Structure 1
């Protein structure tokens, strides 16, 4: 069996032991004689998986009883629209903090449904940094929206802002990578395909009090209350993706929970950032040090010729996914939870070797 060092930005690496577990259960899931992909989402066997995944996520993140956990579809991109559909309008305003391309996309959807105020402090520096504060928040906004980690530019909120208005966060690329205080947020959403599992399922964690303000005049599928009342089973959910997510959550529990995962992620990021910093004549990191992402390390090389050589040699060594996003170019190493520390070690060693030779 050949396994590469997978630094893809998403869909991303999954834990090998989870893949092996899924392989063992693929044909006959726990004695049912069926794959999870084949069974009814109304069956007691699938319902157990569904509820188990919710319970694990609650334990790992410390989600209080007055928050709902939903498994939806449509990715973060649907949430960009679904949130303002439900919570803007009727004279309400929202504040969007721009820290990268995905926060821009969220803003672009929100302006269709209501008044949007923008904090664009980070744009002037080319999205290299994260703001220290949000001075526009006077407590009168329906919500303040942030993107917790910026995959394209490689920045991350080191600490989350304390807001006067309800805080909404797109955590698609760093959920479950470190402990968080869920009660600081009114709503959290995240596509699964980076840290939680495979593509196809989107997790929403929302406070009951915030959900009570939803727009009741929307189509059924676009109202959060629809999914709350049906335990995310109003229509057929992405059952196989939820099953794999449950297995990934169990794997995180076996690692020791989010404190252990955060330390593991810190080690991986430090290995790669230290390689960049050791060779400033070759590697040019994008993010300011205080805003460096633990999930996505973005950098360029001193010339386009060197960059092409680096990516070519990296591919020959079995490193996958190091090319930067098409909109900005450069290089990017995504170090999500499932990427082993050993993979980061091998990448850092290669970077040192490449720098010495060039």
Structure 2
């Protein structure tokens, strides 16, 4: 039986990984082990390790590695602490292969710990682009440390091969986050009101705004512009989800909580909704606003328009439901008004996600079980001139 360790460092990767974890959990030929760290273990982030356990999964190892500060220096130190903890955790788990999704610093730390131990790594969502975040370079670094690759689409697959990865080890499976959208039962408005302890009134705005770590000035301008723009829609119910554990995250979070305190009658903030509530709320909402990848990946899959602010997601493919805008209040207001038009709302009902067809998890798990692990190491650089990709 093949022992597969799946790493999750926050709600940001746990939601997209859920269907892969579930498939491995249910597969009698796989021995699933979970390594949990980062924001999952932080109280102000909602202590979302509890959600992992409530979903019926055993947490085999926990690595507490997040320092209280969110300066670049603190994040770098958190990465160092993480690597120390991951080295010990992986030694205890002794997996045959490690599965990582995405591009965050926690994922880079566990990838490097596995690399030092000569442990094969399977990476999900390599080859994507997001120029406005330091995660962009982190993602590419994880790709070079990995041996098996599952990408969102053919364009991302070509980029991974362009980085020197062998074509037969790079699979355009789609992202497993789309699987959850296709398969889940959505909560209705009554249930959402109960879980959020509020009464939602139309239009409903779901807002997720993270620091743009490669554009800190634009990031701060964006949160100011966003909150000012929301004042122009006084009839809207606004649900803010928490920021990531990132550089400058406290600045963004403080501005949002100050806004909610001043607008309690129509806005709430929660550190983490959980995937079921978030997707149900996104489906119910009139639009998703912010700079999260969820606005480009999951929102189009539930046919809800997105207002995407600033540079954080530059480089990712867009569905026609996405409206891009700058960081000023005037630009954000104009984008929201456009997204709320009948024409754009109707157009959004017919978009298709550029990130998959809802069948990624079975493809990923099948490959994880079948691949000859001995053939994955040592890695050799694949020169693009050798073959057509």
Which band: TM-score by shorter chain? 0.3 to 0.5
TM-score when normalising by structure 1: 0.34
Using CA pairs under 8 Å that are at least 6 residues apart, name the structure with larger relative contact order, 1 or 2. 1
* Greater share of helix: 2
TM-score when normalising by structure 2: 0.32
